[in-house]
Chains A and B, each alone.
Chain A
Amino acid sequence: MESLAPWLWVAATFFLVVVPVGSLLWKSLELPESGSRGLDNYAEVLTQGSVLEAIFNSFWIGTATTIGALLIAVPFAFLVSRTDMPGRRFFRSVAVLTFAAPSFIAAMGWILLLGPRGGLLNEYVLVPLGLPAFDIFGAKGIILVLTLFLYPLVFLPVTDALDNMDSRLEEAAESAGATRWHTLRAVTLPLMLPPIFSGSLLVFISAFVIFGPVALLGGPVGFQTIPTAMLELMTFPPRIEYAAVLGLPVLFALGVLLYLQRKLYGKRAYTTVGGKPGQKRTVELGVWRWVAWFFGFVVLLFSIVLPFGVLLLTSFRKAVGLPLTWDNLVLFDNYRALVERPAILESFWNSLWIALVATVASIVVAVLAVWLLERSRTRLRPAIQPFMLAPLAFPGAILGIAMVIAYSGSPYWLGGTLTIMLLAYLIRVVPQSFTYVHAGFKQVNAETEEAARVLGASWSESMRRVTIPLLRGPILSIGVLNFVLLFRELDVSIFLFTGTNNVAPVILYNLASESQFQLMGALSVVMLVINLGVVLVARRLLGVRVAH
């Protein structure tokens, strides 16, 4: 079985990365005018002034969002994992719910809250207090929304790392005379480096390629990033040969980040998890407990309560265009209208099982890849990380195009099926599954596995009984995160949907595009409730650590 592992990884990578990305790259060399192939499409797109400006914008939006996410996520993770902050279990449980709605819905929610003229927070809070109205349109609005939307990508792995870290290392430092601050700086933070870097990488790249919030919040004031500028170039008329070009700046950024990662902590050891359970020290905050609680409350308020609260309020409105008065509110009419649509139940079922299967499969691929990278001597090792992260470079719509080109025709004939949707979902979450499992793996002591092998356990036994149990935390957290992300996956779904393979987020998008904002609000709330249910069930039945 052990000797088969590289081949299984090659097979998975071939279908999940090589075929779709390769098809896209091949297509990008096509020159429709001359019927030949060449690099002209790259030269044509990447020399456009609007694209160069968009690349610059993407870099600084990505950087600012990452800094914002770190400023929230790292202290928040420390507070919920290592202190006696009140409500820490609850805060940890629900953080992942920022992802419970597609990003464009979150952006629409923020326009309803902080639109400069009609935003509810501006109208009922800021202006009555004599404060200037906040203008959500533009770069600062995008950074605010993306920071609140993406910070869990850092928060989750850092919390896991802190949970797994044996406090005796910190105690040893303090007994040697280090102050608490010095211990934090010299021991705790360096040990958290892999998950901080992995999470930051995901936040940076996600902010780099995200489409919905930038289109809705940046478009009105002419602010563009790479996906909005390039999708504009390839949309009208359709130029799908430009699609792969879109991934090039992101692949470059990814390459730089991976190089930095290798430079930063490539040869250092971060092992903190062994066979013996570690001890976790709880810092008692005293009166600062409630200050910490207030910090958590504010994070929760802005990342979940307000955006979903406004969608909840919308779900009780007759129309968003009518003034917010009692006459224009309804009780359950919009929810009843949802139930009366048979396609919704079917789409929920489809979304549910596809998200579940893709989640499990992505973890299997990730564990396999990480094991090969960290424990084996295969010659494939240098290729593993780039291949596992490559799908990150392509925004959802581009991945959708790649999937159609690669799999809808001969010899696969998957066009219009739920299978192609499942494959696309799997590809979508492989990079983050790999990143989280990798960060977790770096903390696991190889000696425990080696001991099991010396005692006669086979490779699969040692994986099943030693490695995977030690990785339980990151695996279960990424599992829940993936499920939540996939249950509302829209960007790829909208491209692969052909009328017969309905999934819930497509229904949500259709409601928004039909101006049925009230039904859109109601469906978003239902999706949030389902995700909340999954998080709570996972926590109770599977023992997922409360962060996830």
Chain B
Amino acid sequence: MSSRSVRPRAAGIAAVAVLATAIAGCSAPESSTQAAEDLPTDQEELIAAAQEEGEVSIGAGGHTREQVELLAASFEEEYGIDVTFVRASGGDIAQQVSAQLSAEALQFDVVSLNDEATLSTWSEEGVLADPELENRDEILDPLATPDDAAHVPFTWAAMGYSYNEASTDPASLPTTWSELADQPGVFAVANPNSSGAALTFVAAMDQIEPGFLSALGEAETLISDSALALTQLVATGEADFGIPGIEADVATAANAGEPLAMGYPEGDIGVLTSFIAPLADSPHPAAARLLTQYQLSEEFQNIQAGIGSRAVLTGADVPEGAEELGEDRLVVIQADELSAQKDELLAKFSEAMGV
């Protein structure tokens, strides 16, 4: 090989190496050397360790924006620890966490989802860390997760239907699920293929009123792949009813000025539970545990009632104006039950809706 051809090739290799070094020159993010299992058991020491870490990040797929903003502001005020968050759909957050795990570079310290099946799997695989909650036994029985599960519920919402108050007379609202399915008009229905909340609703309705989906299939329906589209369809009048109406989403739309409201049929009602857990390889494990504990503290559970979020602790405040729903009316679908029935439920939905 002549020196003429070697020189440019060597220079080229050097250029690639310089570029690689430049990109790789970004140093690894500073992270705590403490593993989640080695965190102090003493609360004062945990707070000190969390404050030393100084920041915590949450991938909020189970929170509404209002809920996670309130959590961040209250936590910062209480402990002086910065909270950054990403609020996106549960599916997006779960994919982001999966990609970060695959890269072995977690950006989030804490994750929240409505999708308990994914969290259960992660809990079994050791992806999540035990939040070491002292008040775990105060969680409402129907919502509680097994003691060995790392994820815990932090709020719940009833799943009724949504409607536009400006175009629907409240006096004419249906009071039972079968009346709802018989209503004239268009129904926007969430697709259980693309959201855990919608699948939970289909599972709950399979227990509450097994013929509801078939009856709904007779009506004019629009299938929605996201809460965003569901809300827009009802708000703009393209649909008369949004199914399911989820309290937290409807409250968000109402707070934004949209005339959306919830309708609750009589009898049993499905529950959408939101879960939170610290991530085991979190860059800020102490702050992650502290944030999860704070979310479940009696103090914050009462604070979140102020924005209409239901508490999961027995005896906590009920949000002002919220429908009174006794525990006997709540239908909670457990993760293993949902996983086992998933294919059957999706097939039922497809058959009923003709999609």
Residues on A facing B (Cβ under 8 Å): 3-4, 6-8, 10-11, 14-15, 27, 108, 111-112, 115-118, 137, 215-216, 219-222, 228, 232, 234-238, 240, 318-323, 397, 400-401, 404-417, 419, 494-495, 497-500, 510, 512-518
Contacts and interface: CB of A to CB of B under 8 A. Distances in A.
Contacts of B15: 4, 7-8, 11
Contact of B99 (A216, A240, A323, A411): A240
B226 interface: yes
A419 B99 contact: no
A3 B8 contact: yes
B269 to A, nearest CB: 23
Given A228-B225, A410-B28, A499-B85, A236 B99 contact: no
Given A4-B8, A15-B20, A410-B104, 11 more contacts: A112-B236, A118-B236, A236-B199, A238-B94, A319-B257, A321-B166, A323-B167, A413-B29, A494-B92, A515-B228, A516-B256
Given A7-B16, A222-B354, A516-B256, A237 B115 contact: yes
B236 to A, nearest CB: 5
A322 B229 CA distance: 17
A8 B107 contact: no
B108 to A, nearest CB: 7
Nearest 10 A/B pairs, CB to CB: A7-B12, A499-B84, A118-B237, A222-B355, A409-B105, A3-B8, A409-B103, A220-B222, A515-B253, A235-B91
Residue picked from B95, B196, B253, most chain A C-beta under 10 Å: B95
Nearest to A240: B98
A115 B86 contact: no
Q: Which of A15, A215, A235, A406 has the most CB of B within 10 A?
A: A235
Interface residues of B, number: 84
B182 interface: no
Given A111-B238, A240-B95, A404-B96, A415 B105 contact: yes
B256 A319 contact: yes
Contacts of B354: 222
Contacts of B96: 404, 495
Interface in B198-244: 199, 222-229, 231-238
B35 interface: no
A215 B225 contact: yes
Given A219-B229, A322-B259, A404-B96, A236 B107 contact: no
Nearest to A214: B225
Interface string B2-17: 0000011101110110
28 contacts: A3-B11, A3-B12, A4-B15, A7-B8, A7-B11, A7-B15, A118-B236, A118-B237, A220-B229, A232-B194, A232-B225, A238-B91, A238-B95, A319-B259, A320-B235, A320-B258, A321-B237, A397-B95, A405-B102, A408-B100, A408-B107, A414-B26, A495-B99, A499-B85, A499-B86, A514-B65, A515-B235, A515-B249
B224 A220 contact: yes
A547 to B, nearest CB: 34
A407 to B, nearest CB: 8
A413 B193 contact: no
Nearest to B19: A11
Contacts of A234: 95
